[in-house]
Amino acid sequence: MHGRSRIKRLLGLLLLTLALRPCCDVSASTTRQFTFFQTLMLYSQTSPVIAVLPRAPITTSPVPGLTSLYHKAKRGNYGDARYPGNCSGELIKDLLCYFDAKRVLDPLTGSGTCTEVCRELDVECRSTDLRSDDTDACDPKCYENIGTFDFVWLHPPYWRQKVYSRDQRDLSNAPTLSYFLFRYQKLIANCSTILHAKGKIAILMGDYSDREAGFVPLTYHTKRIAFSCGLRQACTDIIRFSHGASSSKKVYRSSFIPGLHDVCMVFTKPELAITGARRTSLPYSQDAHRFCFRF
Ligand X SMILES: C[S@@+](CC[C@H](N)C(=O)[O-])C[C@H]1O[C@@H](n2cnc3c(N)ncnc32)[C@H](O)[C@@H]1O
Nearer to ligand X, 95 or 108 (CB): 108
Nearer to ligand X, 88 or 268 (CB): 88
229 secondary structure, DSSP code: T
Question: 218: part of which helix (H) or strand (E)?
Answer: helix 218-228
Least separation in angstroms between CB 2 and ligand X: 38
| CA pair distance 146, 208, nearest whole angstrom | 33
**Which residues 6+ apart lie within 8 Å of 38 measured at CB?**
19
Nearer to ligand X, 27 or 151 (CB): 151
Nearer to ligand X, 15 or 260 (CB): 260
111 binds ligand X (CB under 6 A): yes
Q: What share of the chain is helix, strand, coil (3-state, %, to 5)?
A: 35, 15, 50
Least separation in angstroms between CB 122 and ligand X: 20
Nearer to ligand X, 60 or 145 (CB): 145
Yes or no: say if 176 and 292 are a contact pair by the CB < 8 Å rule: yes
Interface mask toward ligand X for 61-100; x: CB under 6 A: ------------------x---x-xxx-------------
Least separation in angstroms between CB 142 and ligand X: 8
206 binds ligand X (CB under 6 A): no
| CA pair distance 39, 20, nearest whole angstrom | 15
Least separation in angstroms between CB 76 and ligand X: 11
Least separation in angstroms between CB 248 and ligand X: 17
Least separation in angstroms between CB 35 and ligand X: 35
Near ligand X by CB under 6 A: residue from 66, 99, 113, 189: 113
**Radius of gyration of the chain from Cα atoms?**
23
Least separation in angstroms between CB 63 and ligand X: 20
Question: 130: part of which helix (H) or strand (E)?
Answer: helix 130-133
Instruction: Name the E strands within 92-184.
Output: 103-106, 124-127, 149-154
Least separation in angstroms between CB 290 and ligand X: 19
205 binds ligand X (CB under 6 A): no
Interface mask toward ligand X for 249-288; x: CB under 6 A: ----------------------------------------
| CA pair distance 253, 66, nearest whole angstrom | 37
Which residue, 9, 18, 63, is CA-closest to 41?
Answer: 18
Which residue, 82, 84, 69, 135, is CA-closest to 108?
Answer: 135
30 secondary structure, DSSP code: H
Q: What part of residues 117-176 is at the interface with ligand X (CB under 6 A)?
A: 129-131, 135-138, 155-157, 164, 169-172
Nearer to ligand X, 160 or 269 (CB): 160
**# of chain residues touching ligand X (CB under 6 A):** 25
Number of neighbouring beta carbons within 10 Å of residue 25: 6
Instruction: Name the E strands within 41-170.
Output: 69-70, 103-106, 124-127, 149-154
Residues in the site for ligand X, rule: CB under 6 A? 79, 83, 85-87, 107-108, 110-111, 113, 129-131, 135-138, 155-157, 164, 169-172
